[in-house]
Amino acid sequence: MSLAPAIARPWGAARPWTCVLCRVQPQRRSYVKSHDLFKLNEKELSKNKPNPRLSPSQQRDRMDALHRSQFLEASYKNKITNMNAKDAESIIKDFLASSNPSGTFMQELAKKNFITVRELTVLGIMIMRIPNASKKPEWIPSSKHPEISKKLLLACVDSGDSLAATHICSAFQLASSKTHGKLNVVEEVVKLYSQTDIQRCRRALDKLIAEGDPEAMTVQGFFYEQEGKMQLARDLYEKALPLADRKYDPKAPPRAPAVDVIGPWNALGYLLLADSSPESQKGAREAFEVGALEADDPLSYYHLASFYPTSSTEWWKYMSKAAASGHTDAIWQLGNYYLDNVNTIIPNTEMGRSLKWLLTSKPGSAKKYAMEWFEVGAGFGHKPSMMKVAEQAEADGDFQRAGDLLYEISQNPPFGEVEEWPRLVMEARVRLPRIAAKIPQIDPDKEIRIN
């Protein structure tokens, strides 16, 4: 069972939020994934020359300090963090001056700067996210930001901050489940932390569980599942279920781009779905109902819809909720529903009354509405949706856009990842030369332009 949608919009994400279809209505979302908000100029490092007055390590430190200041200040101005670059740099300096920072030291450091340990955790996560140019002169050492982030987060783990422990452990779990997609933060965390570090975090999780932390229970439950201890995992999920917060709290501490923990209702639902017995299936449905109807969790809505026939209003309502939250599988299913099933709806039924606005629209409205959902899916990089949009673009004579989309579909996934739709990739590569030949002033043997 894929955990990737939980990262796209987890139950703990900031709300209120806007439906993804509404977001693309005024100005259609580009089907090419946007770049990160912060990106270093690749030429920036190459312009640096060896300074005879400084060692390569000292030059690297200066460059890191500059990049760190720019990144953290931009994060602060964009309201991703609550700490400006000047204050952050002062904290980092004090932290690095300590030879062996303990949990007590982190609490004292937080108190000294009139902040919480959680904000130190957020700082550690943000330092890890500082981009580094992919090409650098050989004489320049690697950035020290990953090591700084690691030491800072592990010290926050020792101080008892739950976000530090769940961030590190959740990244390992996602990496082992092979469902993290293009979440670079997962790969970075896995490369940086050893098994000894993970055991250190798990011991911290045990302490948090004793204090009644539902996220710690959920994360530790995943570890038990991976170890085959299903009953222990189930016990933790069921214990976390009534403790988990089911409402958005605008005053909650910031999470930054941390690896999120899915709700215990989804964890329990996944575990029970694996058992085909009627009792387990009933329990899974009840768990997803808690997540959907009480916590407004899009992942729960998606799985709850699967318990109903596609002809029911419940399926349509729950799948629409999941799709509007950005769940790509729900977007795909809903788009196909409008494309293929609308003509089978009987007007006087409950479903007919729910979709009266569509049934009484102009001919072709259902297909147009379906294509709008496929456009949204394409914007998230969902290759089946991209293929639907490419086919429509070709039918409309927009060969440039069809070619651009086919080129995106034909690309291999990043190194180490498995292609989810290999047949679509092969199909796109076969169709691409034919489409490229129809685009004026484009050489079919050359790379298709990506807008």
Q: Residue 11: pLDDT above 50? A: no
CA–CA separation, 385 vs 332, rounded Å? 7
CA–CA separation, 110 vs 105, rounded Å? 9
Question: Higher-confidence residue: 87 or 354?
Answer: 87
Query: What local confidence, expressed as pLDDT, does residue 384 receive?
Result: 95
How far is residue 442 from each of residues 35, 392, 393, 433, 449, measured CA to CA in Å? 26, 21, 17, 10, 9
Question: Higher-confidence residue: 143 or 319?
Answer: 319
CA–CA separation, 289 vs 285, rounded Å? 6
CA–CA separation, 204 vs 160, rounded Å? 7
Class of residue 347 by CB neighbours under 10 A (exposed 0-12, middle 13-18, buried 19+): exposed
- Rounded to two decimals, what is the model's pTM? 0.76
Q: Residue 304: pLDDT above 80? A: yes
Average pLDDT over residues 320-331: 92
Closest CA to 239 of 257, 222, 256, 214: 214
Q: Is-contact 215 263, C-beta < 8 A?
A: no
CA–CA separation, 11 vs 272, rounded Å? 20
Average pLDDT over residues 157-167: 94
Q: Residue 243: pLDDT above 70? A: yes
Q: Residue 4: pLDDT above 50? A: no
Average pLDDT value for the chain: 81
Question: Higher-confidence residue: 392 or 138?
Answer: 392
Q: Residue 9: pLDDT above 50? A: no
Alpha helices (H) in 161-212, listed in sequence order: 162-177, 184-192, 195-210
Report the range of poorest mean pLDDT among 129-138, 159-168, 201-210, 327-336.
Answer: 129-138
Closest CA to 334 of 290, 357, 364, 301: 301
Question: Higher-confidence residue: 139 or 160?
Answer: 160
Express the helix, strand and coil content of the chain in percent, nearest 5 each: 60, 0, 40
Residue 226 tokens read as 């991976």
Q: What percent of the chain has pLDDT over 90?
A: 53
Closest CA to 128 of 96, 153, 103, 106: 153
CA–CA separation, 253 vs 81, rounded Å? 10
pLDDT band at 359 (very low <50, low <70, confident <90, very high): low
Query: What local confidence, expressed as pLDDT, does residue 447 receive?
Result: 52
What are 251-292's pLDDT values in tens digits?
665 556 788 888 999 999 999 999 999 999 999 999 999 999
Q: Is-contact 327 34, C-beta < 8 A?
A: no
Q: Is-contact 237 258, C-beta < 8 A?
A: no
Question: Higher-confidence residue: 73 or 172?
Answer: 73
Q: Residue 99: pLDDT above 90? A: no
Average pLDDT over residues 414-430: 86
Average pLDDT over residues 400-427: 88
pLDDT band at 413 (very low <50, low <70, confident <90, very high): confident
CA–CA separation, 40 vs 198, rounded Å? 31
What are 42-67's pLDDT values in tens digits?
444 445 566 667 787 888 888 888 88
Query: What local confidence, expressed as pLDDT, does residue 254 receive?
Result: 57
Give the contacts of 134 (CB within 8 A, at least 6 positions apart).
42
Give the contacts of 207 (CB within 8 A, at least 6 positions apart).
160
CA–CA separation, 1 vs 7, rounded Å? 14
Question: Higher-confidence residue: 356 or 304?
Answer: 304
Query: What local confidence, expressed as pLDDT, does residue 93 receive?
Result: 93
